Each structure stands twice: as C-alpha cells, then as structure tokens.
C-alpha cells in the first residue's frame, strides 16, 4: 500500500483541489484512493503544497494547524475589490514611502493581532462561502479573530512599481490578503496583495518540492522514490518504540504500560519492533501507572 507525502510546488492559477485531482489521477492506477492537501492555497498563490496519500491523510490535520511561511508581494497605493491583484481597482492613494516609514508600519503587526478575514474568502456565512455572497454584491461581514505574526520583514522595496516583498511567518488562519490591506492602512494609504508564494509549513520547506509537471510526468518508481513517509508529518512528536506484543495490543485497542510521562507531550508517535509506524497515542494513568492509549493508528505497518 502506498502512503506518504508528495511535496508539490503549486503553479499559478490552479486551485489546491485541482492539484489534488491531478495527483489522484496519476496514483489511481496504483490503488491510491485517499488523497488530500494540508492547507489551501488560492489560485493566485504558488509554492509549497504538501499532498497526503493513503494512510498519511490521517495526520493531515496537524499540518493544517501548523505555522506557515510566505514570500508576499504587496502593491501600495491601490485597493482592489478582492484584496488581491485579480480584483478591480476601487481606490487609489499615496505610494511613496521611505524605508523607515515602511518598517515602522510592519512592526505594528508582530505578535498576536486581531485580523478580519477578506470578504472574498471560503469562510461560510449561513452555509455559503463568503466569496459567493461577495460576488453577488451582498454585504459580507466577518468577525475579526486572533492570529499570530511571528515574523514580518521587508525583503525588497521597489518604488518604481510601488511594491514591497515581505517575508512572513504566521499562525494558521492568517490571511495574507488581509495583512496586505492592513499594512496599507497603517501607512495611511491603500494596498493589495500582488503575489504570494508559500515557503514553509509544518517542518517542510519549498526547497524540498518538485513541480506539479514533474510529478505528473514521472514514472511510478520515480514518484515512489520522491514520496516522503507518512511519519514525516509528525516528526515534531516524541517517539516510543514497542515490542511485538505491545504493538499488537495497541492495535487491538488495549492499553499498553510504558515508561513515559504525559508531561513530555500530549501525543507520541509509536513504532513497532521493526520500526514501522503504528500511529499516534496518548499517555493516561491507570492505578497511577502510565499507559499508552491509541488515538490514530495506521491500518497497515507499510510505509512509502
């Protein structure tokens, strides 16, 4: 059984779902049914898109919750209806700012901030995506929410094109389009997102990716060699190795006595006697003694 993670450099003007559909198509002859991405990228965005196959899909949620890194291009002096370059320009303003003014504005967004998602987003309002309502000309009101900007630095300033290149590291749920708009407001002008490239997510880096065309044209053996193992999604968790009987017991839903502490981590990655991934487990106390309780298990010990 094929299970693992394909690291794709998502091309421009293709949805994340479109990437999944193409990867699913090339792996279908090999019996892979379950395929899913680990965090949506808009068609405007390019870059790192991990795709989970088979048993690896069981751990995709941890990637959805992971911090993300981006290289974002912000255009000053123009507001667009959608907040990005695909929307119609609806307002214009000043765009000639010094490096000092720009860096001072960027500093305001470091740390935990309140951010209002863009109206052209997939967030649901009464069961419908906000972007669908916005396209119909309806009023879209989305509540602000807390997000964390770990890093926001100026990489390049091109006054001739009124553009800024920014390096951003942020928590899940952060909208870079909203950040671009808010940076404009902090400068006293308008701004929109002109380009976006995801560079990191959940321990993966853009340098590890291959293009979608490469994945589509590769031979089955090449794709198998490129696929990362399912446990690459959970490498940040501490590891516990079990013997043969313990592995069988855990897979059968039994509690397994171990020498570990829940204070170390809320979850552990578990391996059997042959170092094959068993799955995830937590520590619970039984009569004061630590035991493993299974949380999410592989249905097979095989990995890519």
> pLDDT tens digits for 105-128?
999 999 999 998 876 666 666 677
pLDDT mean over 36-46: 88
Query: Which of 155, 184, 201 lies at the terminal end of a domain, its last residue?
Result: 201
Tell me, what's the pLDDT at 144? 86
* Whether residue 276 sits in one domain with residue 152: no
* Whether residue 181 sits in one domain with residue 207: no
Higher pLDDT, 117 or 239: 239
* Whether residue 118 sits in one domain with residue 94: yes
pLDDT at 40 over 90: no
* Whether residue 220 sits in one domain with residue 97: no
Tell me, what's the pLDDT at 248? 95
pLDDT at 140 over 70: no
* Whether residue 178 sits in one domain with residue 192: yes
**How many domains, the chain?**
3
- Please tell me the distance from the alpha carbon of residue 294 to that of residue 251, in angstroms, as a whole number: 8
* Whether residue 57 sits in one domain with residue 87: no
Tell me, what's the pLDDT at 72? 98
* Whether residue 189 sits in one domain with residue 210: no
Higher pLDDT, 125 or 176: 176
Residue 302, in any domain of the structure = no
Instruction: Give the active site residue among 9, 13, 42, 126.
Output: 42
Residue 148 pLDDT grade (very low, low, confident, very high; cuts 50, 70, 90)? very high
Tell me, what's the pLDDT at 129? 64
Q: Determine the structural domain holding residue 12 and report its residue range.
A: 4-66+203-234
Closest CA to 235 of 262, 210, 203, 205: 203
Catalytic residue check, 165: no
Name the average pLDDT for the chain: 91
Tell me, what's the pLDDT at 64? 86
* Whether residue 254 sits in one domain with residue 194: no
Residue 303, in any domain of the structure = no
pLDDT mean over 178-196: 97
pLDDT per residue as tens digits for the range 243-253: 999 999 999 99
Structure tokens at 222: 């090449």
pLDDT mean over 288-301: 86
CA 229 to chain centre: 18
pLDDT mean over 173-180: 94
CATH code: domain of residue 141: 3.30.2350.10
- Provide the percentage of residues in the chain whose pLDDT is more than 90: 76
Place of tokens 């090339």: 26
pLDDT mean over 32-50: 91
pLDDT at 130 over 80: no
pLDDT per residue as tens digits for the range 270-286: 999 999 999 999 999 99
- Please tell me the distance from the alpha carbon of residue 172 to that of residue 28, in angstroms, as a whole number: 31
Buried b (16+ CB within 10 A) or exposed e, 13-23: ebebeebbebb
């Amino acid at each position: 059984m094929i299970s693992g993670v394909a690291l794709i450099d998502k091309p421009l003007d293709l949805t994340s779902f479109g990437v999944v559909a193409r990867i699913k198509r090339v792996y279908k002859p090999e019996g892979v049914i379950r395929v899913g991405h680990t965090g949506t990228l808009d068609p405007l965005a390019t870059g790192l898109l991990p795709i989970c196959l088979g048993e690896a899909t069981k751990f995709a949620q941890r990637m959805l919750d992971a911090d993300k890194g981006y290289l974002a291009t912000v255009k000053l002096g123009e507001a667009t209806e959608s907040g990005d370059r695909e929307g119609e320009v609806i307002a214009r303003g000043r765009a000639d700012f010094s490096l000092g003014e720009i860096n001072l504005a960027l500093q305001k967004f470091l740390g935990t901030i309140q951010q209002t998602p863009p109206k052209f987003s997939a967030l649901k309002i009464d069961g419908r995506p906000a972007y669908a309502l916005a396209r119909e000309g309806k009023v879209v009101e989305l509540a602000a929410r807390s997000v964390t900007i770990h890093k926001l630095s100026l990489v390049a300033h091109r006054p001739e094109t009124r553009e800024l290149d920014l390096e951003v590291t942020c928590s899940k749920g952060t909208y870079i389009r909203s950040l671009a708009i808010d940076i404009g407001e902090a400068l006293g002008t308008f701004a929109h997102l002109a380009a976006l490239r995801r560079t990191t997510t959940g321990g993966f880096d853009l340098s590890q990716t291959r293009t979608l065309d490469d994945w589509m044209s590769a031979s089955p053996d090449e794709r198998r060699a490129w696929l990362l193992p399912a446990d690459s999604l959970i490498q940040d968790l501490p590891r516990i190795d079990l013997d043969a009987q313990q592995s069988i017991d855990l897979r059968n839903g039994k509690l397994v006595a171990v020498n570990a502490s829940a204070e170390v981590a809320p979850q552990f990655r578990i391996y059997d006697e042959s170092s094959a991934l068993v799955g995830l487990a937590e520590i619970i106390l039984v009569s004061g003694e630590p035991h493993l309780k299974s949380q999410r298990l592989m249905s097979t010990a095989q990995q890519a």
